Amino acid sequence: MKATAWMGKDSVKVVDVPDPKIMNARDAIVRITTTAICGSDLHLYHGYIPAMRKGDILGHEFMGEVVEVGPQVRNLRPGDRVVVPFPIACGHCTSCQRGLYSVCENSNPNAGIAEKIMGHSPAGIFGYSHLLGGYAGGQAEYARVPFADVGPIKVPDEVPDEQAVMLADVFPTGYMGAEMCDIKPGDVVAVWGAGPVGLLAAASARLLGAERVIVIDRYPYRLGLAREHAGAETINYEDTDVLDALNELTAGRGPDACIDAVGLEGHHGNAAIYAYDRAKQAVRLETERPFALREAILSCRSGGVVSVIGAYGGFVDKFPIGAFMNRSLIMRTGQCHVQRYTRPLLERIQRGEIDPSFIISHRMPLADAPKGYKIFQKKQDDCTKVLLTV
């Protein structure tokens, strides 16, 4: 089959690889119809996530048709149209029983590697390094889906792929980011990053009752999407000091909740600050560029919530722990527990409450995946989200 493989830093290639096979009684094989390039895939593309190997198959946002199931998979059968959550979860461990699917205790066969970096291991993830299991990803013609009796959900015929595939990651992640804010009537929510997750976090904050949503980014076309689809006020951080602007917009209090939807490859309008973190990251004295996280903590009103859904992988410098502790801030974070959200968010789509496909800007065949990565990386042609059809 054809699959998108990581070939080294800033290099991917569509290659021929063996078709996946059933390896466990709870496996399924899915013929992929639609997959996507995620912003967190760019962290792999740029070489910031450890334990990648040449030839690893990328992709953790995908859906398609079930073609084969293991003997213990009784909820699916060949021909079913499904969307697959990106965290791989057993459904039976303590974490899964608590709904914390992205920290499943049984799905990462390389847990020992992750434990050396993180203390305890999170769940395995499709196409996201050997640190998180070494599973083949979904930017391919077929994928093996472990624990298929827990993860995939059936998609009704009336819901198109372009909407349904958003349930694999970006829509649940954005929604969880907003949900963690504990939004109450009258609340102001600020979102750093107007990429796919940030846009859906902003839209989800509106769904959950935020009175005002403020989105911070530097690309006018992405800020335009935030205004159009989330009714957001916007700040371009290259033109404006973010802390000053947020204080002005909130009568000096700061937002009630702040969402970091940027993660480890942040950018900053101040050239000196950006150069400092960029240099430290380049020589691996820190693994992240946490500009958005720092600003979110400093901007949030005292006693407010900082929700972190941007992907981080290691260690940050100059974390403002003094502001965090002394101002009684609350931080909630995590890779999304997608299995908790797929069904209720599918129902929201079916009721017409939201169409998450508004984030899609580019559609191309799987064979053009290397081109898609370059366009997405460089934000060419107003790129927001690349969908790959198989």
Q: pLDDT tens for residues 329-366? A: 999 999 999 999 999 999 999 999 999 999 999 999 99
Same domain, 241 and 148: no
Q: Are residues 244 and 320 in the same domain?
A: yes
Residues 260, 319, single domain; the answer is yes
Give the pair of three-digit tokens for residue 260.
Answer: 């970091």
Q: Among 292, 316, 333, where does a domain finish? A: 333
CATH classification at residue 145? 3.90.180.10
Pairing label, strands 62-69, 81-84: antiparallel
Among the three residues 333, 353, 381, which one is the final residue of a domain in this structure? 333
Buried-state track 119-156, b at ≥16 Cβ within 10 A, e below 16: eebbbbbbbbbbbbbbbbbbbbbbbbbbbbbbbbbebe
CA dihedral 343, 347, 349, 353 (to 10 degrees): -130
% helix, strand, coil for the chain, step of 5: 35, 20, 45
Residues 222 and 194 in one domain: yes
Q: Are 306 and 300 a contacting pair, CB within 8 Å?
A: yes
What is residue 274's predicted lDDT score, i.e. its pLDDT?
79
pLDDT of 269 > 80? The answer is no
Q: What is the pLDDT of residue 281?
A: 81
Asked if 361 and 230 sit in the same domain, the reply is: no
Residues 307-331 pLDDT 10s: 999 999 888 888 999 999 999 999 9
Domain residues for 7?
A: 2-169+336-389
Check residue 139 and report its DSSP letter: S
**How many Å is the Cα radius of gyration of the chain?**
20
Mean residue pLDDT of the chain comes to 96
Tell whether 26 and 165 lie within a shared domain.
Answer: yes
| Cα–Cα separations (whole angstroms), residue 66 to 35, 52, 100 | 15, 28, 26
Does 354 lie in the same domain as 259? no
- Say if residue 300 is in the same domain as residue 160: no
Q: Where are the alpha helices (DSSP H) in the chain?
A: 41-45, 94-97, 111-118, 161-164, 170-179, 196-207, 220-230, 242-249, 271-282, 291-299, 321-326, 342-350, 369-378
Residue 270's pLDDT band (cuts 50, 70, 90): confident
Residues 108, 202 share a domain: no
pLDDT at 173 over 90: yes
Say if residues 155 and 63 touch (Cβ distance below 8 Å).
yes
Together in a domain, 144 and 193: no
Domain count, the chain: 2
Tokens of 163: 């909407």
> Do 96 and 191 sit in the same domain of this protein?
no
pLDDT at 273 over 80: no
CATH of the domain at 274: 3.40.50.720
Same domain, 328 and 340: no
Helix orientation angle between 342-350 and 170-179, rounded to the nearest 10 degrees: 100
